[in-house]
Amino acid sequence: MAAPLLPESALTASLLYAVGHNYEPDVEGSQLPDEMVEEITGLLEDQGTPELVPEVLAGIRAGQQRLEQEPAATVSANVYTQLRKKFIAEHGIESSKGRRVWPVGTITLLKRAGGSWNQALEAAGLATSSQQRPKGFGVATFTPEQFDIAIEDYKNDAKEAGFATKYDNYLDWRKYQLSRGRTNLPSGPAVRNHYGSWSKAIGGRVSAGLREFVPPPSDKYFYRDGA
C-alpha cells in the first residue's frame, strides 16, 4: 500500500534542514511557519523519533535563516542524498514501502518537481545551479537521478505485473509507457551506457518472472523514499 502524499511543507523542510547543516539558528531570528512545525513534529512522531523534534526544528530554522542572509545558498542532489542517509543511519530510522519517512527521499523530491532538481530547489525557495541542466525527462540527456527513477519504476512494475526484469522487457515496457503519454523514460541503450551494463542498471541478476512483458495492473506511480 502506498504511503499518503507528503505535504509540500515536509519537502521544503527537508531541503532547509540540509541547507542549515552545521549552522546554529539565531534565537531572535525568524520563526518557522506553524504549519511546518506541526507537520514535521507529526512526521517525526509517526516514524518513532519524537526526541528529534527540537533538534530537527532548530536545523530547519537554521536553514531558513541562512537563506535570509545568503540568498545564493543551495544544496546539490548528491550532498542532500548523503546528508539524508547519514541522518537515517545515525537515528536508526527504517525506510520501507508504504511508510512516510522524513527527511524526504531524493527521488520523491525529484518526482514532485517533474524530475528536475533545480525545480525542487526553486519550490523550496533555494538558489539553483548556475549551470542549468535540461528540464524534464523528454530530452536527449538525462540526469543520474532521472535514470534511477526510470529503473525504479520499471522494477516495481515488473514485480507488480510478474514479468522478468530483462533488457528486452524494458524496451517493451518503455514503448508501452510512451504510448500512454509518459515522456520521462531514457532508451534501453542509454540506460546500459549510463550504468555500464544491464545487470548493473537493475542492481544484480534479472528477477524471476514471465519472459514476456505484460502491462502492469496500474499505471499509478507512488512517491517512495528509498533514495
Instruction: Kindly report, residue by residue over 140-175, the tens digit of the pLDDT.
Output: 457 788 888 889 989 988 888 888 898 888 888 888
Which residues does 138 contact at the CB level (< 8 Å), separation at least 6? 183, 184
pLDDT at 101 over 60: yes
Q: What are phi and psi of 163, to 5 degrees?
A: -105, 155
Distances, alpha carbon 201 to alpha carbons 117, 124, 132, 210, 223, in Å: 21, 31, 26, 19, 20
Instruction: Kindly report, residue by residue over 26-55, the tens digit of the pLDDT.
Output: 988 889 988 899 999 999 999 999 999 999
Could you tell me the residue ranges of all domains in the chain? Answer: 8-123, 134-227
Indicate the pTM of the whole model. 0.59
DSSP 8-state secondary structure symbol assigned to residue 130: S
What does the pLDDT read at residue 217? 64
Measured distance CA(194)–CA(202) in Å, rounded:
12
